[in-house]
Structures are given as structure tokens and as C-alpha cells.
Structure 1
Amino acid sequence: MTQYVAPQPGQNAAPDGIDAPVTAYEARGQVFAAQRDHYAARSARMANVNLALFTGALICLGIGVWQGEALWYLGAGLLALGFVAAYAYHTAIDRHHHHFNELWTITNEGLLRIRRDWQALPLRQAPEPPDMALAADLDLLGHASLQHLLNTAYTPIGQITLQRWLLQPAAPPVVRARQGAVQQLAPLLDFRDQLALRGRSMGTAQTNYERFLDWSEDAGWLSARPWLVWLSRFLTLLTFAAIGLQIAGLTPYPLWVGLIVVNLLLVLTIGGRVDEVIDRVAARQIVFRTYTDLFQLISAQPFTDPELQRLQARLTAQGQRADHHMRRLTRIMALAELRHFMFYLPIQLMTLWNFHVLWLLERWQATAGCHVRDWLAALGELEALSALAALAHDHPSWTFPTLQTA
């Protein structure tokens, strides 16, 4: 039997009161706001530079066409190159502006939590459980609830995990393990902000999250047809061999033309299905790119708490960290982006490119896909712990209960 023992006055309490976290949030908010405004001003200036370069290039081009002098064309070309470089630089500045604006928003939400400003504080929640009415009556879920106060879980799995923890009791050893993790996470403001920052880019991607999980655990479509794997490889090698023979002058016949026709037939009959499978993954790219960043952040953090170290250990498979596996998936999807390239069709007809990309994707499925669900479960637990840590940080005078076995 487990007994709740009320803490003694001052036990587990920080010496400072509620003013300390408010001061910390306000100071951080001022830093982030200053950086945000700095990059906003630079972005506005770069917008004017871009406009000037673009307009100048058009004017030089117009004068060149009118007067027929090469010097004006050269000027138009140089200004156009300058516009491309300035546009890339402007994009980087906008990314910095967005970065600090998001950090300011995250920090401001800390103040909203402390003030219990329920109208301004966003409510992030997983799909409602069957007993939602009872949970809402107990102020566990919904508006102005404990869930609303613990609003720092951004990913779908983080929201699901936090909701489950609020509704289901945990065994005393589990509670103690979570308390230790929360105590280490509470002062790690930078880490928790970065965790929230990466999670915010997920948006409301609950459907994408579930479909990514489904794809990760699916049986491979191409791997179930090994003959097609070998046929695509054989035709690719044969096509290049035929091209090489004609270039070397070893045959007067364009044998490669016949092979291109065979490849075209394969693309027209089966290639569409291959593209459908690849598109199913491509539509979720924002999901696994975000998870890559989240896994990297968690794995690189030097935790000393046993529970946090246990969660880190779960973010590995076959001796490699989860973020390394996810980064490999990102690199494979970069190869799939060639399908949108202007000259993709001749490349496809010579190489059967999408068949080889799908083979790489399904090899990733076979080696890493079966671990994705556990990786996300570990991420969800850490996000839920981080939400509890934010509560502990915001209220340093609150105490951690002691559980004793009677």
C-alpha cells in the first residue's frame, strides 16, 4: 500500500518565490525581442536592396535591348546575380527573425502561465478521450485546466503522453523516477526552449504523425517484388553499357534506344505506383525533419538523471542514434526531389531513378522503421517531463510529494 506523506514546510522548495521565474522570463523575453527586432529591421533593409537590384537589372536589360550594347547586358547579368545572392541572404535573415520571434513567444507563454491568463494562453491538447466530460469537470483537461497549464508539449506524441499521464495513475517507482527527471529539467531553460521551438514547427500535424508511423511499420511494396528490383538494376546497367558501346565506336547500332523504349514501358506501367509510394513519404517530410532535430537535441544533452538517460538510450537502434537514422532518411528524400527537376524525364528513362530511390527508402524501413514508434514514445515522455519541469520552474516554492510504502 502506498501512502502520501505531506512535505514539511520548505522541503524541496527553492529559497526564492514566484518573482524569480517572472524575472527570468522577462529578461529572456527582452533579449529575444531585441534580437527579433534587430533581424526585422535588417529584413526590411534587405527587401529594399532586393527591389533595387531587381529593378536595376530590368532597367539595364531594357536599355541593352534598346541600344544593343553588350555592356548593358553585362550590367543586367551582374545585377541579377547580385539579386540572387541578396535574396538568399534575405531568406537567412528571415529565418533568424522567425527563430527569435518563436523564442519570444515561448518565453511570453511562460509569463501567461504564471499569471493564469487562460484567454491568451494557447490550449494544446490531444484528441479528446471518451471520458472527456469527467476530466473537464475535474479540471484535468480542457480550458483553464491542469492540461492547459502544462501547455509546453507541442508534438502530437507529447500531447498524447501528457494527457495519458494526467488521466492514468502511475506506480510509486514510476512517480519517483519522473520526479528526479523533472528536478533536473526544471532549471534547463535553454534546453526546454529549444525542445519547444523544434516541436512548434510540427504545427497540428497529428494526421501526418500517424501516417508517418503507418508508413514506417508497413511492409515494403518493392521489397515484396524482388524481381522488379533486379530488373530495374539490370536495365539501368544495360542502358549505360549500350550508350558506352556506341560512344566507344564498338557498335554502329543505337542499341540504347531500344532499351530506353523498354524503360519507358516500365515507367508507364509500374512507375506510377512507385511514385505513389514515394509521394506518401514525401508528404511527411516536415514531420521527420522535425523529429531529426528533436532526437539530436535530446541525444546531445548531458543528462545525469537515470530516467532521462534511459530515455536517451531508447533513441538508438543498431548502434546508431535515432537522429542519424532520420538524417539518412532525409538524404534519401533529397534524391527523391530530383523527380521535380526540369530534366528528370531523360534521367528517369536512362536510370529508372524512382525505382532505386524507393529501394533505398524500403531498406531504411527494414532497418529503422520498426524502431520509430519507440523513439516517438520516448520523445513523448521527455516532452511530458519537460512540461512538468516548466511547472516546477514556474513555482519554485511548490513541493514534490514523497511516496512511502506502508
Structure 2
Amino acid sequence: MNGLKERYEKRKEFYAQQAGELHRRINRLSNIRLGLSLVGLSLGVFFYIIYSRSLGIGMVLLTVILFIGLVFWHQSLRRKHLYRQILFENYAQSLQRLAGEWKSFPDKGEDFKNADHPFSEDLDLFGLNSLFQWINTAKTFRGRETLKEWLTAGPSEGEKILSRQEAVRELSKNLSWRQRFLAEACMAKGLMSSPQGIIQWAKTYDESYLRLRVLILARALPIVTISFLLIYLLTGKLSFWYPLLGIIIQSLILFAGKQRGKALKAVYPYKESIKIYEKMLARIERRSFQAEYLQDLKEGLPNREGTPAFQQIKKLAAITDMIANRDNAIFLIVNILTLWDIQCMIALESWKEKSGRFLGRWLETIAEFEALSSLAGIHYDHPDWTFPEINPAESGIRAVRMGHPLLRGAVCNDLTIDKHSGILLITGSNMSGKSTLLRTVGINLVLAYAGAPVYARSFSCSRLQLYSCMQVSDNLGESISSFYAELLRIKQIVLATKEQGNIFFLLDEIFKGTNSQDRHLGAKILIRQLSKAGAMGMVSTHDLELGDMEKESRGGIRNFHFREYYENDEIHFDYKLRLGISTTRNAMYLIKMAGIEVEGV
């Protein structure tokens, strides 16, 4: 851990120094640009008045050219400075994550919360203090969605999980590349919106702009009009009607097509995102990968001619720059003289015809690299965690020294669940660790199926469909009480056991919204039914009488418990899982701690 911290600290300091040096260069360049403007223009006026007009005009033109060059240089330095500043912040955030201070990260995945999902709410996958908030480094719209899909979709094919594991291992070693890849996405101004609009836009193109006669007319007409205008202005030997007629014809062509304006405006909102995608694709395509999963992603990017995706999308970025000034009042003259809108439409439709159908695939590739990079961060920060074995032959879970990934200093436990003893009944007093154990198993399964390492010394599991009923609450808007909401969730689990196999459930204090007699009877009936259906899972309960089911089930249901102990009149928990039914209770002690007088007890 100390070695990781030192590495992060060194790189953070390195980029802080680079950002500081670039900031100083930007300030110096600003002063030079101001000085050049004042001196150049002053000399231009001086030469114009004292010596000759041509020398003065030449000096002014030279000053303008140098000024424009300095402006571009200044913009380049500002981008480099912003990029280094982002890298500095990324390493600072990595240090926060390593220190367990990630709960202040702004992206909590709140938009992915779904009360109807089979397990995401119970396992705290999204929202404040969630798994997503801890691991996510994705910034693009589809990157965040892809990570969310991997965490919630359940188990993929075993080979696919293993392929992701291999990719995560490789990316975890490439810290610098991952941070730079992330930094490219962070260059976006604000949140990146859904790309679905531009993906659909890119799939269709207007063939009329690609016809040979349209191309010839669009290129030839401005050349003729501008030539007539120059001849008229420079020689005066041509009637002004010739250039005027050309300008009128070109104006009519420009202002006749309203649909053209809509087509040009359709791509412009994505101008900044397109440049971000270009930089991210360049990072991918200029890197060599060993993992087959990463190689396949990269090899799917070029078109049939082998043109890299980043070069193709770079052309689209250049076209959007062409469109950028079309609404400028001063640019109107240039637009008319050059048929600029027509040139932009030809360029756009040509790009869409050659490359547009690949855009969706490019963005999905970026998204997968972002999701894989998020998972790679887990492995880099926790090299002692293990990649799980996905065992199709033996159904169940086997874990050695398994802990909760989101808890610093979590107590680890061993656990075995298989088809012969498929249901664990967990008893114990309040705050002893029952619910945490259920979440520990669930969240490690989520990581395992996503292709990430899990918090355990060793971990193997089969592909199980995960369901939970742990922290169900009422829904006033739907007039649903918490008890009825719990029944709906349990109904979902029961139906799943009838419609599909390999169900794994997590039930925490079921039927707590009813009386103790009904709760005991209902829990017993449900557990029997789930066991008979071949489902596996864990049930936490305060109902010690349910422990009798172990004998009834002949080993199909096993009892485990947590216990507490007291020192100096204080309650303590060791959070160690033990065989058998709980023999301790702490409710009365906790009630007394709350200041409530307990008589006769």
C-alpha cells in the first residue's frame, strides 16, 4: 500500500510541476503577445506616416500574422496546461480512493438507481457510498452506461468473464496509459450527453450531394464568381454585372435549402464530444495490447481500407470546425462567395457515406475501454485481491478470507455454498454483521461476473442469477407499504426459481412487517419452497426457531451465526462467522444504552 501511495504521489507532483511551468509560459506568452501588438502597430503607423505606405501596411500585416500565430500557440499551451491539470487531479483522486476518501467523488451513479432491479438497491451498487462511486472512472455517456450494465446484468458467458479478467490484468499494469485515456475524456466541458442522436444521424446520408454534377457545380461556380470579382476589382476591365450575377445565383442556391441548415446544425452540438472521441480513439489505436479481448476491440476500429478510426473521426471534427462560423454575420460574405454551406454538406455526406456506419461501434469500443479501466483500477490498488474462478461444473460459491470491498479493515470470513447445502441460515444479535455478510457475498459476485477481482484470498463460483430482498421500503406514490413491497420482491424470486435455474438469493429479516407468529411460519414455508426448487442462498434472521430447519432438511439448510462479547460493560463484535445457531442476545442491553429503563429484566 505504501508503494502504491508513493507512485501516485510522485506522478501527482510531476504533473503539478508541469502544470505550473505551463502556466508560467502562458503568462509570459500573453505579455509577449500584448507587447508585439503595441510595438508592431505603432511601428506600422510610424512607417506609414514617415516612410511609405507599403512599408507601414506590410508592418501591420506582419504584426497581424505573428499575432494570429501567437494566439494559436497560446491556445495550444492552454490545452496542454488543462490536460496536465486534469492528470494532476486524476492522481489526486487515485490517492483519495486509496485512502478510503472516495465518498466525496461527485459521480455517484444516481441516475442508475432502480428500485425494481433484482439486487442493485440492496447491494448499494449506485448512489452515495456505492460501488459505482468507488470504482467508476468512465466519463463518456456510454462508458458510464457500460459499467452500469456490467454491474447489473448478471453473469455473462464464462469465457467472456475470463477474457475481461485478462484485459483487466493488462490494463492494471498500464497506469500511465489509463490515466491519460481518462484525462482525454475529462477535457470535455461538462457532462457528455447521449451520442444516440449523432449515431443515428451518421447512419443515413443524402446521395444528391455526392452526384458528380453537384460536385462540379459546387467547386466551379465559386471559382468563376471570385475570378470575375478579382478581375473587376484589380483591372476594372470587366463589367460589375458578371461578379454580381454570380453572387446573386450563389445567394439563391444558399438560401433555397432550409433542410440544409437543419442538417448542418444537427452535428454541431456534438462538436466538442467528437474531438474528445478522436483523442480517446487515438490513445487506443496507437497502443499495442496483448490481451485477446483488447486486441479484438482495437482491430474492430479501422474501416475496410484499414484507415484508423481516429483519423476518420478527425475528419468529422474538421468538418464541424468548418460549420462553426456559418451563423457569424461577417462570415455571410464568405459563405456566399464560396458556397460554404454546400461545401460543408458535401464533406458531411461524403464522410457519412464512407465512415458514418462505424461511429456507433467506435463509441462502444471507447465505452468498453472505460469500463475495463475502471475495473483495472481495483486490481492496481489491491494486487492482493484475487480473480475468481468461474466453475461451470460445480454449482455454488467457495470463498476463503472474503471481505466487503467497500469497508476499510473489513473482517474476512470463509464461506462455502453448494447444491448439497445450498441455504445458509445466519443468526446473531443486532449489529453483529449478518446483513453485512449478505452484502459481502452479493457485491463480490457482482464484481466476479463483471470481470473484476474480488476481495478474497481465493474465490470460485458458478454462474448464478442473483436476487435479493434486504432493504425494501414503502412507495407512497404507488400506495405500496413496505410489507407489500417485500412480498412483491419475494414473489419475483419465487417466479425466477420456476422459470430459470441457478438462482442465488439474499434474504434479510424477511416478513418483518407482520407479527412474530406469521413471520416465523411464512419464513419457514418460503425457505422450504426455495430449497425444494433447488435455489441457493442466504437468509439472515433473529428468529432462532428457524434453526430447527437444519435437521429437517438433512443438511440442505445449515446454521451459522455471529456473536458479541462484553468488556468493561461495553459491547464488542468480532464479526467472525461460526457454525450453529446464535446463543447470545443484546437487544435489552442496547435498549438500556438508549436510556430506557428496563424493569424486571
TM-score by length of 1: 0.80
Aligned-pair CA distance for 1:227: 10
Task: Tell me: CA distance 1:120–1:322, structure 2 relative to 1, closer, same or farther (3 Å).
Answer: same
Please state if 1:118 is matched with 2:109: no
Deviates more, 1:316-325 or 1:376-385: 316-325
State the secondary structure of the residue aligned to 1:320.
Answer: coil
Partner of 1:167: 152
Partner of 1:105: 89
Task: Tell me: CA distance 1:250–1:384, structure 2 relative to 1, closer, same or farther (3 Å).
Answer: same
Partner of 1:151: 136
Task: Tell me: CA distance 1:132–1:204, structure 2 relative to 1, closer, same or farther (3 Å).
Answer: farther
Partner of 1:380: 367
TM-score by length of 2: 0.56
Partner of 1:280: 266
State the secondary structure of the residue aligned to 2:111.
Answer: coil
Partner of 2:275: 289
Partner of 2:8: 25
Aligned-pair CA distance for 1:336: 3.3
Is the 8 Å Cα contact of residues 108 and 130 (structure 2) preserved in structure 1? Answer: no
Task: Tell me: CA distance 1:126–1:154, structure 2 relative to 1, closer, same or farther (3 Å).
Answer: farther
Partner of 1:260: 247
Task: Tell me: CA distance 1:90–1:260, structure 2 relative to 1, closer, same or farther (3 Å).
Answer: closer
Unaligned 5+ segments in structure 1 are: 1-17
Is the 8 Å Cα contact of residues 239 and 256 (structure 1) preserved in structure 2? Answer: no
Task: Tell me: CA distance 1:342–1:400, structure 2 relative to 1, closer, same or farther (3 Å).
Answer: same
Amino acid at match of 2:152: L
User: Hey, what's the Cα distance between the residues in 1 that align with 2:80 and 2:202?
Assistant: 33
Is the 8 Å Cα contact of residues 161 and 380 (structure 1) preserved in structure 2? Answer: yes
Amino acid at match of 1:196: L
Aligned-pair CA distance for 1:288: 1.1
User: Hey, what's the Cα distance between the residues in 1 that align with 2:291 and 2:29?
Assistant: 46
Residues 2-401 of structure 1 correspond to what in structure 2 (within 5 A)? 18-53=1-36, 60=42, 69=50, 77=60, 87-123=71-107, 125=109, 127-131=111-115, 135-169=120-154, 170-207=156-193, 209-217=195-203, 219-220=204-205, 222-223=206-207, 225=208, 230=213, 233-234=216-217, 237=220, 240=223, 254=241, 257-270=244-257, 272-318=258-304, 319-337=306-324, 339=326, 344-401=331-388
Aligned-residue RMSD, C-alpha: 3.8
Task: Tell me: CA distance 1:50–1:153, structure 2 relative to 1, closer, same or farther (3 Å).
Answer: same
User: Hey, what's the Cα distance between the residues in 1 that align with 2:239 and 2:367?
Assistant: 64
Kindly provide the CA deviation profile for residues 95-123 of structure 1, in whole angstroms up to 9, marking residues without a partner as x. 33222111110111111111221343332
What is the aligned residue count?
383
Deviates more, 1:77-86 or 1:161-170: 77-86
Compare CA radii of gyration and give the structure with the larger one.
2
Aligned-pair CA distance for 1:62: 12
Is the 8 Å Cα contact of residues 16 and 84 (structure 2) preserved in structure 1? Answer: yes
User: Hey, what's the Cα distance between the residues in 2 that align with 1:75 and 1:236?
Assistant: 32
Q: Which has the higher strand share?
A: 2
Aligned-pair CA distance for 1:198: 0.6
User: Hey, what's the Cα distance between the residues in 2 that align with 1:157 and 1:181?
Assistant: 19
User: Hey, what's the Cα distance between the residues in 1 that align with 2:265 and 2:301?
Assistant: 27
User: Hey, what's the Cα distance between the residues in 2 that align with 1:204 and 1:123?
Assistant: 12
User: Hey, what's the Cα distance between the residues in 2 that align with 1:359 and 1:82?
Assistant: 33
User: Hey, what's the Cα distance between the residues in 1 that align with 2:328 and 2:213?
Assistant: 26
Is the 8 Å Cα contact of residues 113 and 121 (structure 2) preserved in structure 1? Answer: no
Partner of 1:6: none
User: Hey, what's the Cα distance between the residues in 2 that align with 1:85 and 1:257?
Assistant: 35
Kindly provide the CA deviation profile for residues 316-337 of structure 1, in whole angstroms up to 9, marking residues without a partner as x. 2223221121122223334435
User: Hey, what's the Cα distance between the residues in 2 that align with 1:291 and 1:214?
Assistant: 17
Task: Tell me: CA distance 1:238–1:373, structure 2 relative to 1, closer, same or farther (3 Å).
Answer: closer
User: Hey, what's the Cα distance between the residues in 2 that align with 1:208 and 1:383?
Assistant: 16
Aligned-pair CA distance for 1:39: 2.2
Kindly provide the CA deviation profile for residues 67-107 of structure 1, in whole angstroms up to 9, marking residues without a partner as x. x6569x79995877766555554444333322211111011
Aligned-pair CA distance for 1:38: 2.1
Unaligned 5+ segments in structure 2 are: 394-601
Is the 8 Å Cα contact of residues 22 and 77 (structure 2) preserved in structure 1? Answer: yes
Q: Which has the higher helix share?
A: 1
User: Hey, what's the Cα distance between the residues in 2 that align with 1:63 and 1:374?
Assistant: 57
Aligned-pair CA distance for 1:61: 7.7
